[in-house]
Structure 1
Amino acid sequence: MDPKFSAQDILLCDLCREGALQSYCELCLVNICINCVGKHLSDSSKRHNVVPYRQKPSAPNYPKCPNHTQKHCELYCERCVLYVCSICLSSGNHKGHDLSDALQKLKFKLKDLQKDLKELEKRIYPTYEEIASGLNHEKEKIEKHYEELKTAVTKQGDELHREINVIEHNLKSEINEMKIKHLAILNEQENQFQMINSDVKQSITDLKKLLDSDNISISSEYKSRNAEFRSLPPKIKVSTSSFSPHQINTEQLHQMFGSLSALSITTEKQGYTMEIPENVSCSQVKLLIDEPEIVNTVDVEYDYLYNVTCLNDEEIWTCGKDKNMNLYNLHNKLLKSIQTKSGNHPRDMAVTKSGDLVYTDPDSKTVNKVKNKKIKEVIRLEGWIPYYLCSTSCGDLLVTMNSADGEQSKIVRYSGSTEKQSIQFDSKGKPLFTSGYYKYVCENRNLDICVADWGACSIVVVNRTGKFRFKYTGHPSSTLKESFYPYSIATDSQSQILTADCADHCIHILDQDGEFLRYIDNCDLQYPWDLCVDTRDNLFVAECYRHRLIKIKYMKDTP
């Protein structure tokens, strides 16, 4: 009989502590019963090598002692941070030190290695790949930018050439006008002299006739014009024009033409954040509690409660199928009520970094901001209808919208009223989202954009550049009655994703990579519609038809 299965020492499963051993995972160093094998293998974050328990090495594979090669190290010294054998212990060098089992220490080390592998494969390597892809895209933009610079220089040169050509043409035209005027003066003077000269010639002819004639009466009538001819007409003197070219000042010409700014080369931190693995996005790790519990309820004045968003840890904005947006505290007191500008009921709302309320009005195709009880239109769309929105960590707004014909959906990032980014298609040009209008959106702590696409029965997550990361369509081993229909979505300080499954009256919790962690299904939820999480990781759930707000504690407090 195999000593591993002796009746005197019944070995139980390390996972459930109930079933008899059937298998052994050589990589995780755990003993598993037949009922837990599937569960163990379903953890895709680790690598496994499950063998029948009979094939488990009969002797522990302890590491060899570096100082005593004939011995194995069965213990680990916590103070000296090294594995030790029996001879090392007998030397007295580790007297009073905390010692632990070497195989158990190796098991913990193996878990650390698996965590490192998961981080490298799922976060670090993809981030470097994304940065490299971004650099290639940046190079393409640079090529285009410098071509645009050349075009601008050519345009400026052409402008200067045109101006010079105009100046040259005007000067030549002016010279032609001067020449015509000058010649006209000379022609007039020439005509005058020709007329006088003709008279002189006529006088010569007449005198010769008189001298040849013996007619005394005609000679006696002669009157001399010599005195007239001796008085020459004044000579008109015209000074010719001259051209005085200015010396070309190269420096001034450069200043007039324009100049290029110098390249500025600096170094700065990457715009990418490298998230800590295992859902850790801050210095303190919070764990899920075994049994989430309701710690508070608030009854609200709506027939149908659609939306909830935290102003702070004590005050919550709500809205429903009503034109009023109401602010409640956790003591059921209505603190403030704001009516929408159009009188329509808002589809979604969010609180900005500065504490202002923003909401969407699909009927007027606008996004509006409430500040000091005054409502200002921030965005007005043409051809698109805004539905759901969230405020990001950098102060932008992410707005989900459908085309007016209902055929397309996209997410648009706005800084104020300026569109900065549009997310609609994947790398193959296929739509990321269905055309239905139920698409709540939120930003995760790692800057991923998470969308509850009700029409696709899935959670769709893209990174900050709009590149598809993963899709969650419900837990594969789900025992829920209905299909997965996510309505709303929220994230917490651990970068965990929470989504309301309205049809099955529960909340799904995922890690930042889409791995299912657990359900919240024990809090008597009925049609959970919208979610938000406060700064202390308390979950607020809006129950649509019971028109009440529930505060749920689902995370352990940090020590």
Structure 2
Amino acid sequence: MATSTSWAQDVITCDLCDKPTQQFCNSCQVNLCETCIKKHREEFGSLIHEVVPFLERKIQLVCPECREHSGQRCEVYCKKCNQPVCVKCIGLGPHKGHDVEELTETHENKIRKMKSDTGEINTKIIPKYQNEDHEIVISISTTKSKIEDLGKESIELRKLWHQEVDNIFDKIDSLSLCLGKENLNTLQGYHNKIRNLISELNEMSQSSLSTDVSSLTSRIGEFMKKVKVNATIAPIYDPLWGVSCVGEAEAWIYGQNETIACIDIHGAVKDTVIITCLEGPGGISVTRGSELIYSDYNSETVNIVRDGKSQTLITVPRYWRPWRLSCTRSGDILVHVCTGYGPHTKNKIIRYQGKNIKQEINNDGQGNPIFKDGFYSLYVSENNNGDVCVSDVNADAVVVVDKTGRVRFRYDGTPARRGKSFCPTYIVTDALSQIIVADYNNNCLHILDQNGQFLRCVDDCGLEESYALSVDSEGRLWVGLCGNGEIKVIEYLQNK
């Protein structure tokens, strides 16, 4: 079967009418038919027109007519006045003596500038915003995932709290059956306190878990040029092994005996707790509910003090012994545990949520131990961003891991340029996420930012054998001196 093919071609028409183009004005760059040539010349009669057959046309820059001199085209550009002018303007007219260049050169420069700007847009600006768009998409996805995780965690915490309350009531019911009438009043009072606890836990479970901490801490304060000593508290324990603040003006302290004392900022003893550890606890801390907890090295437990009596809160894994403690803002408890003896003692940090192990921090991603073997304890604190900050005395270093247990950085005291070797003991963090660590050998405190950058040393307020640290709710630092048992309460931040 025969096929046919047809071609269509666009007809170029005159710019003044719809007839086919036959001629072209090179001067004005206009398509013309034979009829419109005269019309075009008459319309711009003062100008010279180079009309040629369309196939002989030249594509060139159209020089506009001069506003000052009729019949003259503007072939140059006045740089001073930023406008095209004719040769009469620069010879005799208002642009005489001005710096000029050919209009074609000006046109080419602008074309080059446009090409350069377009190139920069394509190679730099567009890729930049494409990257930002990609990062925003990732951030949105990550935020959604975190919100979902927080929701799941909230549900689990709600279940855990109700389970703990149920366990407490079961114990109360069991005790009420075996105790006599003389103890009923005491049990009833305890029962009322438990009901208040249920109310508080329900309120906590309904509160927001997404408080923006960064907007608060960014306004807390800045470094003072000079440290201010607010109080020097006379020794109660000598040696002094630990300090843990309660609120704005009180702290629990302990030494090498079977008591833990609560003192105020003036040194007055407000309360004393008798414990089962004959040589003192391994460590103490205060929960976010202001309850005292301490570790019993020999019984392998972490105990909580309620109504002046000790109760077992946590039993650590078999063959491990608890030592230093730290309560986090989320309610978790960080416990340093060790096993073995002498220089071959193994050390790790366990995060407890209630009685349950939530995380163990001891090995990096390659299976290597994060903390050095040795018989000295680890001191631990959690920062606002979830980092766990640890003083590894056996390694003479501070080790900071993120919330997944990955090592972020180590600090060995070198930037401080102290005279003796770095010997880190207690470690705390403040509202600005700064890390403060006591240096026992050099009688000073090292202050780092949350990324491990050394900021400065505090060594000008008599911190001989500085050892124990705690921060109160007013942002003041309580520094316990191991050698003489004194406690210095100092200010190193000032409110804006």
Distance, in Å, in 2 between the alignment partners of 1:331 and 1:347 is: 26
For the residue of structure 1 that corresponds to 2:325, the secondary structure is strand
Q: 2:298 aligns with which of 337, 349, 363?
A: 363
Question: Does the CA contact (< 8 Å) of 1:281 and 1:445 recur in 2?
Answer: no
Kindly provide the amino acid, as one letter, of the partner of residue 384 in structure 1.
Answer: W
Structure 1 segment 61-460 matched on structure 2, within 5 A: 282-381=217-316, 382-405=318-341, 406-436=344-374, 437-460=376-399
The answer for the alignment partner of 1:550 in structure 2 is: 488
Q: Which runs of 4+ in 1 moved over 6 A?
A: 270-275
Kindly provide the amino acid, as one letter, of the partner of residue 383 in structure 2.
Answer: N
Kindly provide the amino acid, as one letter, of the partner of residue 322 in structure 2.
Answer: P
Question: Does the CA contact (< 8 Å) of 2:229 and 2:488 recur in 1?
Answer: yes
Structure 1 segment 466-485 matched on structure 2, within 5 A: 466-476=405-415, 478-485=416-423
Kindly provide the amino acid, as one letter, of the partner of residue 294 in structure 1.
Answer: V
Distance, in Å, in 1 between the alignment partners of 2:337 and 2:243 is: 19
Q: 1:514 aligns with which of 452, 463, 486?
A: 452
Q: 1:310 to 1:283 in 2, by over 3 A?
A: same
Please state if 1:492 is matched with 2:430.
Answer: yes
For the residue of structure 1 that corresponds to 2:221, the secondary structure is coil
Question: Does the CA contact (< 8 Å) of 2:302 and 2:313 recur in 1?
Answer: yes
TM-score (norm. length: structure 1): 0.50
Kindly provide the amino acid, as one letter, of the partner of residue 554 in structure 1.
Answer: Y
Distance, in Å, in 2 between the alignment partners of 1:481 and 1:349 is: 31
The answer for the alignment partner of 2:8 in structure 1 is: none
Distance, in Å, in 2 between the alignment partners of 1:404 and 1:377 is: 23
Kindly provide the amino acid, as one letter, of the partner of residue 385 in structure 1.
Answer: R
Distance, in Å, in 1 between the alignment partners of 2:430 and 2:303 is: 26
For the residue of structure 2 that corresponds to 1:287, the secondary structure is strand
Kindly provide the amino acid, as one letter, of the partner of residue 401 in structure 1.
Answer: V
Kindly provide the amino acid, as one letter, of the partner of residue 523 in structure 1.
Answer: C
Question: Does the CA contact (< 8 Å) of 1:499 and 1:507 recur in 2?
Answer: yes
**1:295-321 deviations in whole A, cap 9, x for unaligned?**
101113212001001011111110011
The answer for the alignment partner of 2:472 in structure 1 is: 534
Question: Does the CA contact (< 8 Å) of 1:475 and 1:516 recur in 2?
Answer: no
Distance, in Å, in 1 between the alignment partners of 2:383 and 2:465 is: 24
Q: CA deviation at 1:554?
A: 0.4
Distance, in Å, in 2 between the alignment partners of 1:554 and 1:455 is: 29
Q: CA deviation at 1:416?
A: 1.7
Q: CA deviation at 1:374?
A: 1.3
**1:98-138 deviations in whole A, cap 9, x for unaligned?**
xxxxxxxxxxxxxxxxxxxxxx9xxx99x97x969x99xx9
The answer for the alignment partner of 1:195 in structure 2 is: none
Q: CA deviation at 1:271?
A: 8.9
RMSD: 2.9
Question: Does the CA contact (< 8 Å) of 2:218 and 2:432 recur in 1?
Answer: no
Distance, in Å, in 1 between the alignment partners of 2:457 and 2:272 is: 34
Q: 1:429 to 1:273 in 2, by over 3 A?
A: farther
Question: Does the CA contact (< 8 Å) of 2:336 and 2:350 recur in 1?
Answer: yes
Kindly provide the amino acid, as one letter, of the partner of residue 338 in structure 1.
Answer: V
Distance, in Å, in 2 between the alignment partners of 1:350 and 1:284 is: 27
Distance, in Å, in 2 between the alignment partners of 1:299 and 1:445 is: 32
**1:378-420 deviations in whole A, cap 9, x for unaligned?**
1223110111110011111010111245542111111121111
Distance, in Å, in 1 between the alignment partners of 2:218 and 2:209 is: 20
Question: Does the CA contact (< 8 Å) of 1:500 and 1:530 recur in 2?
Answer: yes
Distance, in Å, in 2 between the alignment partners of 1:475 and 1:285 is: 29
The answer for the alignment partner of 2:462 in structure 1 is: 524
Q: 1:283 to 1:508 in 2, by over 3 A?
A: closer
Distance, in Å, in 2 between the alignment partners of 1:483 and 1:281 is: 37
Distance, in Å, in 1 between the alignment partners of 2:459 and 2:210 is: 36
Q: CA deviation at 1:447?
A: 1.2
**1:30-77 deviations in whole A, cap 9, x for unaligned?**
xxxxxxxxxxxxxxxxxxxxxxxxxxxxxxxxxxxxxxx99xxxxxxx
Q: CA deviation at 1:274?
A: 9.1
The answer for the alignment partner of 1:465 in structure 2 is: 404
Q: CA deviation at 1:331?
A: 1.6
Structure 1: give runs of 5+ residues left out of the alignment. 1-68, 71-119, 139-269
Q: 1:343 to 1:298 in 2, by over 3 A?
A: same
Structure whose CA Rg is larger: 1
Distance, in Å, in 2 between the alignment partners of 1:470 and 1:450 is: 10
Distance, in Å, in 1 between the alignment partners of 2:470 and 2:237 is: 18
Question: Does the CA contact (< 8 Å) of 1:281 and 1:495 recur in 2?
Answer: no
Q: 1:375 to 1:285 in 2, by over 3 A?
A: closer
The answer for the alignment partner of 1:188 in structure 2 is: none
Q: Identity of counterpart residues, as a percentage?
A: 33
For the residue of structure 1 that corresponds to 2:244, the secondary structure is strand
**1:166-196 deviations in whole A, cap 9, x for unaligned?**
xxxxxxxxxxxxxxxxxxxxxxxxxxxxxxx
The answer for the alignment partner of 2:10 in structure 1 is: none
Q: 1:407 to 1:333 in 2, by over 3 A?
A: closer
Q: 1:354 to 1:273 in 2, by over 3 A?
A: closer
Kindly provide the amino acid, as one letter, of the partner of residue 356 in structure 1.
Answer: E
Structure 2: give runs of 5+ residues left out of the alignment. 1-78, 81-130, 150-207
**1:344-378 deviations in whole A, cap 9, x for unaligned?**
41121000011110011112211110011110011
Aligned residues: 299
Question: Does the CA contact (< 8 Å) of 2:324 and 2:336 recur in 1?
Answer: yes
Q: 1:556 to 1:452 in 2, by over 3 A?
A: same
Distance, in Å, in 1 between the alignment partners of 2:223 and 2:390 is: 23
